[in-house]
Structure 1
Amino acid sequence: METRRDRLRAATVKEISETARRILVEEGPDAVSLRAIAREMGMTAPALYRYFDSHRELLRHLVGDLFTELTGELHRSAKAVPQGDMSGKFLAVARQFRRWALAHPREYALLFGAPVRGVGHQEEVDFAEESARRFGWTFMALFLELWKKHPFPAVPDDEIDPRLRPQLSRYRDEVVGVDLPLGVIQQFLKCWVRLQGGVSLEVFGHLEFALDDAEPMFELMLAEIGPELGLTYTPRDARATGEHE
């Protein structure tokens, strides 16, 4: 049973995370220090150690919060589309991923940009890792639903580059945990690389040398990916797809 102390602690942790995010957005990741957060909250830096053992733990908690928020946005986009409309689901989730990224560039950079000092990868599963896996599974679950309902053409396993086969097999067995042809796993990763890569180039300003509005290029990419998955591409129309600005 949750006690009053538990509720107060949860509220303080939430405020710490929100303060860390505000500093991240306004000043960048290097400014997100325990001292800066404590100053914003009217606390002492040592007092924060009652809630987070280290600066690293705090940053990883923020990462977990951001992945949780993003995952929720993607789920809501998918649910706004009629259950059987797989094409609509794919487009809605892909577009919402881009929309969130563009609206939150500093947060996106923390999750998908160059590794931030103090965050790093760790072997044990913590809140950040669990949240990242839930985010990743959002796309994989959509992909598996599509494959189950409308199997699309996949490269036979023996035609896959021999350098890729053991890597795809390891990813399938250790991460996905579903017995699928390696060609299906390869197709999923190809789609993800194109989707996330295109969004990253736009968010980080690497398309500005040629484009001041990259949305048509993003839509062109979706139009090319769709048929590869047996999906029908529909031009973006918020009224038709249930997408929200």
Structure 2
Amino acid sequence: MSDRSQRRRDLTRQEIKQTARNQLVTGGPNAISLRAIARDMGITAPALYRYYPALDSLILELCTDLYTDLRVACEVVRDQVAPEDHEGRLLVMVREFRRWVLSHPAESTVIFGPPLPGVDQFHQQCQDLSHAGVQFGQIFIDPMLALYHQGRLPVGKAIVDAHDHAHGDVPPEVYTYFLLKWTQFYGIIMAEAFGHLSWAVADAEPLFEAEVTAFTESLIR
């Protein structure tokens, strides 16, 4: 395949994914279909199948793009904080994570809600260090690891071996701490995003900020 043909193919794949994302935003996850994408692009379904033979292969790449978008958004705010301020970098990324999820409800439903075809496959590939999901998690692990080396991370007993989860350079106790804090932040963000706190509060931000404060107060000074 010539370079020109490859570029044309890459551009078409990008257009297919953007069309799928448009369908997602306007109609929700169930609105995504290869036939609907072909119709919106003005091509035949068989022509589309040359790029994505099944919906799950398209969803798999869409998940990769969405995780990359989320990671980049967090990195942008992180890089506005001094590199030596590991605590500050963590906090702005956690807040950006919440902001992105709340401002992208349809996209968040795909990557954090009930799995669509292709999402399970995406999660099963998280053993690869180049995987978009692993790279997203790594930007949170890195400052935690730096705090650990400074003696500031109140790690406890290791219950998860990082070597089994594509983080071989991270001590198991640090990986355990990361998972515990991740599930706390993740839980409150997703509960808010999917409306599971609406019965209790009109604004869940104070609950989220209380979790942020609890994290900062737990660090060793």
Query: Secondary structure of the equivalent of 1:106?
Result: helix
Alignment RMSD (CA, Å)? 2.3
* Shift, 1:179, TM fit: 5.2
| 2:38 aligned partner, one-letter code | A
The equivalent of 2:199 in structure 1 is 209
Q: Tell me how far apart the structure 2 counterparts of residues 103 and 138 of structure 1 sit (CA, whole Å).
A: 21
| 1:27 aligned partner, one-letter code | G
* Shift, 1:124, TM fit: 5.6
| 2:194 aligned partner, one-letter code | F
Q: 1:21 to 1:75 in 2, by over 3 A?
A: same
Q: Tell me how far apart the structure 2 counterparts of residues 178 and 220 of structure 1 sit (CA, whole Å).
A: 31
* Shift, 1:35, TM fit: 0.4
Q: 1:145 to 1:112 in 2, by over 3 A?
A: same
1:36-51 to structure 2, matched below 5 A, reads: 36-51=36-51
Q: 1:173 to 1:50 in 2, by over 3 A?
A: same
* Shift, 1:216, TM fit: 1.4
TM-score (ref. length: structure 2): 0.90
Query: Secondary structure of the equivalent of 2:119?
Result: coil
Q: Tell me how far apart the structure 2 counterparts of residues 202 and 59 of structure 1 sit (CA, whole Å).
A: 25
* Shift, 1:142, TM fit: 2.3
Q: Tell me how far apart the structure 1 counterparts of residues 59 and 154 of structure 2 sit (CA, whole Å).
A: 42
Counterpart contact for 2:29–2:109, Cα < 8 Å: no
The equivalent of 2:182 in structure 1 is 192
Q: Tell me how far apart the structure 2 counterparts of residues 201 and 135 of structure 1 sit (CA, whole Å).
A: 20
Q: Tell me how far apart the structure 1 counterparts of residues 191 and 44 of structure 2 sit (CA, whole Å).
A: 39
The equivalent of 1:218 in structure 2 is 208
Aligned: 1:230 with 2:220: yes
The equivalent of 1:183 in structure 2 is 173
The superposition leaves residues 117-158 of structure 1 with CA deviations (integer Å, 9 ceiling, x where unpaired) of 45323656799x81111112121122212222343232245x
Q: Tell me how far apart the structure 2 counterparts of residues 147 and 121 of structure 1 sit (CA, whole Å).
A: 33
The equivalent of 2:107 in structure 1 is 107
The equivalent of 1:90 in structure 2 is 90
Q: Tell me how far apart the structure 2 counterparts of residues 179 and 94 of structure 1 sit (CA, whole Å).
A: 20
Ranked by relative contact order (alpha carbons within 8 Å, sequence separation 6 or more), the top structure is 1
Query: Secondary structure of the equivalent of 1:208?
Result: coil
* Shift, 1:63, TM fit: 0.5
Query: Secondary structure of the equivalent of 1:120?
Result: helix
Counterpart contact for 2:28–2:106, Cα < 8 Å: yes
Q: Tell me how far apart the structure 2 counterparts of residues 125 and 227 of structure 1 sit (CA, whole Å).
A: 31
Q: Tell me how far apart the structure 2 counterparts of residues 112 and 29 of structure 1 sit (CA, whole Å).
A: 12
Q: Tell me how far apart the structure 1 counterparts of residues 40 and 108 of structure 2 sit (CA, whole Å).
A: 23
Q: Tell me how far apart the structure 2 counterparts of residues 113 and 26 of structure 1 sit (CA, whole Å).
A: 17
Structure 1 stretches of 5 or more lacking a match? Answer: 158-164, 232-245
TM-score (ref. length: structure 1): 0.82
Structure 2 stretches of 5 or more lacking a match? Answer: none
Q: Stretches of 4+ moved more than 3 A in 1?
A: 122-127
| 2:169 aligned partner, one-letter code | V
* Shift, 1:87, TM fit: 2.1
1:13-24 to structure 2, matched below 5 A, reads: 13-24=13-24
Counterpart contact for 2:144–2:153, Cα < 8 Å: no
